[in-house]
Amino acid sequence: MRADPMDVVAREPRVALAGVEDALRGGPVPAALLAAPLAVVGDALRLGLELPRAIRKWMEKLSVPELREVLSALAAEIVAWSLPEVGAGDVADDAGLAFVVRRRDQVESVACAVRRVVLPRSTSLAERVELAALEAVLRGIDGRLGALLSRPAVVRLLGARAALGPAWADGFAERGGDSGEPEGTTTASAAAWAEAVRSGAPCDEAVTAYAQSGALARYVEGFAAEDADFAVELAASIDGLIEAREDVGLVARRWRKRCTTLPAARDPLRLAEIPALSLAASTTVESPVARRAIRLGPLAPVDAEARLLLTPREVSVQVFEGRDGAVQSVQLGASVAHRPAAGAPWVVTIAVPEDAVSLRVAGEGDIEFVETLSFGPEDSSR
């Protein structure tokens, strides 16, 4: 019996997570050493793995000064990296370049983990400003790496880490001949990953990660396109999560809307989650406002993620820019968000609409995310 592909890919990150969890039992991690456990957490997040409760609690307690020290140290390290000169000849086997590529991907995981730490913190922008500074340095090093390597070359140099999906290299040219392999062939790691994907259906953990955060979308949706039985199971899983009022991202909701294999009992793009407005007992005074937060996840092709904040009277969407910071505008219905301060999310708020409204997020050039959403009152029977 073949191993589940998700288990094969996730085995090492799971072991590393367990090691971090054990280390945390020994006491707080010094700020100077935080990059290592954060890189492990970021690896897990990029694979869509569930974080142990102890690690989530630890992340919630990380302070602004600790995060600032980690991010500043990484930015200083990146500036010191040495790269070959453009046009210096064949660099595919340069040991120093291979180290930089692997280290660059580890820093991506640290940044991913820090984003998860600061995402729920709506009161302080200090962490986001420091993160924006690191990401600016990363854009600079990526420009230099992109002049030296194609994306296939990056995949080859990453080895097993290529399974995490180096999105930071997506813009690198697909040049033939500079990856160290014959033009027109795939790298060994890419071929192995493709074979693993074909070897079995996504496990329950992969399906949940896909539904909640859009993780492994190409893998999960690709398998569903080839296997009608799995498509039915995937649709039913998404329906069940929506029914249970679990977070289901727009990636999965949009796929469910397109899926005709299993008829949907509810419109997956209708969010029946508007909290009821309650009054204090024996008075006409409104009780403290109930609020429901829903993570919408990635907004591909724009490099951004979103979440909704719903109250009895208002719908707010928060859009968090990705590494490239390329969001140009955010619109919900007829309302347009103001450009935020550096590191802050885009926010637009409207009164709870009676009819469907369009969420439109524009990136650079002609890149745009557009989807129509509708809202309804929370179903108290669920």
Render pLDDT for 294-339 as a digit per residue (tens, 0 to 9). 889 889 888 888 989 999 999 999 998 875 567 999 999 999 999 8
Q: Which residue has the tokens 């999965």?
A: 252
* Per-residue confidence (pLDDT) for residue 312, from 0 to 100: 92
Instruction: Calculate the average pLDDT of the chain.
Output: 79
Which one is predicted more confidently, 274 or 9?
A: 274
**Residues with Cβ within 8 Å of residue 95, at least 6 apart in sequence:** none
Q: What is the pTM of this model?
A: 0.53
| Number of DSSP helices (H) and strands (E) in the chain, helices first | 12, 9
Candidates 111, 158, 171; CA nearest to 343 is: 111
Residue 40: band (very low, low, confident or very high) from pLDDT cuts 50, 70, 90: very high
* Per-residue confidence (pLDDT) for residue 148, from 0 to 100: 85
State the amino acid at position 249 in one-letter form: G
* Per-residue confidence (pLDDT) for residue 89, from 0 to 100: 54
* DSSP secondary structure of 101-127: HHHHHHHHHHHHHHHHHHTT--S--HH
* DSSP secondary structure of 334-372: TEEPPPPPTTPPEEEEEEPPSS-EEEEEE-STT-EEEEE
Residue 91: band (very low, low, confident or very high) from pLDDT cuts 50, 70, 90: low
